[in-house]
Structure 1
Amino acid sequence: MTLTLEHVVKKYKDFTAVNDLNFSIGKGEIFGLIGQNGAGKTTTFRMILDLQEQTSGNITWDGAPIKKINRDLLGYLPEERGIFPQMKVEEQLVFFGELRGMDRKELKSELDFWIKRFDIEEKRYDKAETLSKGNQQKVQLIASFIHKPKFLILDEPFSGLDPVNRDLLKNAILLLKERGTTILFSSHQMDNVEELCDHLCLLKRGVSLFSGSLLELKKQYGKTKLTIRTDYPIEKLEKMTGVLEAKEERDEYVLKLENESFAQSIFEAVSNGLYIEKFSLDYLSLDEIFKHKVGGDNE
């Protein structure tokens, strides 16, 4: 494992922001840290980056205390964005690259690659303050990994990006993974976490409710989501044994089952003389599991 947190606690006087947190991330892995606002995600990031001291517990990188490693191995995109408004795009990226010890030749190559990849070639000599919020976000993203860090933390990287630019970022994250970068990120958009993450940790009020693979989490709930597209009346579906909930979504029905064993009897009833265009039994989405895990509590 590259990054390991063991029994990490962070207290502020009488308030415990992070309580007995444990997880590990392997090399070249994408790991999601998810939770509501106030769950302890940013505090955890700051402890990993040695911007805050943990109250107790150990944070190590390749077995060594994280505070002793070369800081140029790390990259960080904070949730609180901030770029130099008067500096031109290229000047900013060169500045951050050189700040992290890159030589001009290597920096020029990376700069050209990412500016083209994020479709801001026409903006490279513009001042940051003249850019749209989406393009400013791209500049900050590039600045966080222009120096090719071994470990990258992205705090809400998809915030403020439209669907096209979200896809650009997803593809960039996957490319960084291919290059061997270990990535830890948070997002309130569960579809992004579900699509990208190998493993995840779900926090609630500083406590880990789950840490492991996405499939392991889904298996805790079983395949209880049944989607049907048919002319069978929903009023009859609602009354079937094993159906906890039935609702109509656009041109199909979505049923919540007690467990997956009830799907067979439902199929036999619905298929009796009727055409079934769709009958799909699946795990709950991460978004649905997240809402169930954290409940409706405000933090």
Structure 2
Amino acid sequence: MAVGDQAELGNRADAARPLAIEARGLVKRFDGTVAVDGVDISVPEGAIYGVLGPNGAGKTTTLRMLLGIIDPDEGVRRVFGHDRPHDIARMIGYLPEERGLYPSMKAIDAIAFMGALRGLPLAEGRQRGRELLERHELGHAAERQIRQLSKGMAQTVQLLGTLVHQPRLVVLDEPFSGLDAINQGKLERMIRALAEDGVTVIFSTHVIHHAERLCEGVAIIAGGKVPYAGSVEAARDRIPAQVRLETRAREGAWLNALPSEARREGDFFMFALPESGIEPLLRQLIEGNAGILSLSIERAGLHDAFVHIAGEAAARALEEESTADLAGGRR
């Protein structure tokens, strides 16, 4: 359970914005083994929210509990205020990690069929499907069978089938997996466009840069637990910004102005940004004739925050999976 970590996204921001998803204390066991242990997540309407962690961490189980595909053994979850997500299934679009389209079905029929599963009449599904395919430069593929499409095109068709009934909440399980860089970029643009239209998007991923570029908030999950759930900015702020300083002078009284933990790395000094800010230090360096050649303040990235929060082992697992996924996307 993330104690005190809901931060802006989980507390103050949620007070001003209605929640699309709220989960408290979710627990799920399989054959006596705890797969998810006390997950707390709050996702405001219209947000892009990431569930970030290595494979086997509990991401898919968490998403399926949120959607009502499986029930938690403990805890509560609400989607748009409903504690039975199946009752509002037409408001939800779900792309599972396991991709599945009938190979002999035409792209337009696949989209219409997926819409029909959410209550959209087939004729309307075909009309909307053609519009979506045209919008995403796949109009030429409407009458082609799924087996005739590239992997990226087939995945886009399945995603459009997830969106054709115009859901208010879209849940994507590892949507970037196996895609090359071009199709990953297209998917990122689609996710941003959905959020701009007021749709809430929650996706799981083991690729940190997707979460960092896209997400307003994240839940970091490792070993079935969520040690952090809140804004990306607050996660990065867990680690103090680092100052990188280069001076002309090598010695002098001005060295006493540097924090005690400052370390030399080649021609540079590296140290955490003082709580008092950079201005008092700058004044002392100038007065001490340090001869400042360069000075930069570098904020921690989400990767550093993930390592700090989830630990080195979880971070290594993420990196290995990301490397393998990139190699798969190039094939």
SS in 2 for 1:180: coil
Contact 2:20 2:43 in 1 (8 A): yes
CA distance in 1, matches of 2:266, 2:39: 38
| 1:98 to partner: Cα distance | 2.2
Corresponding position of 2:113:
95
1:168 aligns with 2:182: no
Contact 1:245 1:257 in 2 (8 A): no
Corresponding position of 2:22:
4
Tell me which amino acid in the other structure corresponds to 2:173. D
| 1:114 to partner: Cα distance | 2.2
Mapping 1:79-158, distance limit 5 Å: 79-104=97-122, 106-158=124-176
- Pick closer, same or farther for the CA change 1:292–1:202 going to 2, 3 Å: same
Tell me which amino acid in the other structure corresponds to 1:172. M
| 1:64 to partner: Cα distance | 2.2
Q: Which moved more, 1:102-111 or 1:34-43?
A: 102-111
CA distance in 2, matches of 1:247, 1:45: 47
Contact 2:247 2:290 in 1 (8 A): no
| 1:42 to partner: Cα distance | 0.3
| 1:263 to partner: Cα distance | 6.4
- Pick closer, same or farther for the CA change 1:94–1:76 going to 2, 3 Å: same
Gapped runs of 5+ residues in structure 1?
233-238
CA distance in 2, matches of 1:73, 1:45: 16
- Pick closer, same or farther for the CA change 1:68–1:245 going to 2, 3 Å: farther
| 1:156 to partner: Cα distance | 1.1
| 1:190 to partner: Cα distance | 1.4
1:17 aligns with 2:31: no
Corresponding position of 1:45:
63
Corresponding position of 1:236:
none
Contact 1:48 1:66 in 2 (8 A): no
- Pick closer, same or farther for the CA change 1:244–1:294 going to 2, 3 Å: farther
CA distance in 2, matches of 1:281, 1:57: 42
Corresponding position of 1:235:
none
Contact 1:194 1:214 in 2 (8 A): yes
CA distance in 1, matches of 2:142, 2:263: 55
Aligned counterpart for 1:27 among listed residues 31, 35, 45: 45
Corresponding position of 2:3:
none
Tell me which amino acid in the other structure corresponds to 2:90. D
- Pick closer, same or farther for the CA change 1:221–1:274 going to 2, 3 Å: closer
Corresponding position of 2:261:
242
CA distance in 1, matches of 2:40, 2:53: 15
Corresponding position of 2:296:
280
- Pick closer, same or farther for the CA change 1:284–1:103 going to 2, 3 Å: same
Contact 2:27 2:37 in 1 (8 A): yes
TM-score by length of 2: 0.76
How many matched pairs? 287
CA distance in 2, matches of 1:94, 1:187: 27
Tell me which amino acid in the other structure corresponds to 2:145. K
Tell me which amino acid in the other structure corresponds to 1:292. H
Contact 2:51 2:204 in 1 (8 A): yes
Listed one character per residue, the Cα deviations across residues 239-277 of structure 1 (whole Å, up to 9, x for unaligned) are 9953458489xxxx8x763444696769949x955754x
CA distance in 2, matches of 1:215, 1:5: 21
SS in 1 for 2:166: coil
Tell me which amino acid in the other structure corresponds to 1:283. R
SS in 1 for 2:312: coil
Q: Which moved more, 1:107-116 or 1:16-25?
A: 107-116
- Pick closer, same or farther for the CA change 1:133–1:245 going to 2, 3 Å: farther
Corresponding position of 1:257:
271
Corresponding position of 2:77:
59
SS in 2 for 1:147: coil
What's the Cα RMSD here? 3.1
Corresponding position of 1:293:
309
TM-score by length of 1: 0.83
Gapped runs of 5+ residues in structure 2?
1-18, 249-257, 318-331
Listed one character per residue, the Cα deviations across residues 206-226 of structure 1 (whole Å, up to 9, x for unaligned) are 1111111111112221212x4
- Pick closer, same or farther for the CA change 1:61–1:38 going to 2, 3 Å: same
- Pick closer, same or farther for the CA change 1:140–1:243 going to 2, 3 Å: farther
- Pick closer, same or farther for the CA change 1:256–1:127 going to 2, 3 Å: farther
Q: Name whichever structure is richer in helix by fraction.
A: 2
CA distance in 1, matches of 2:35, 2:264: 36
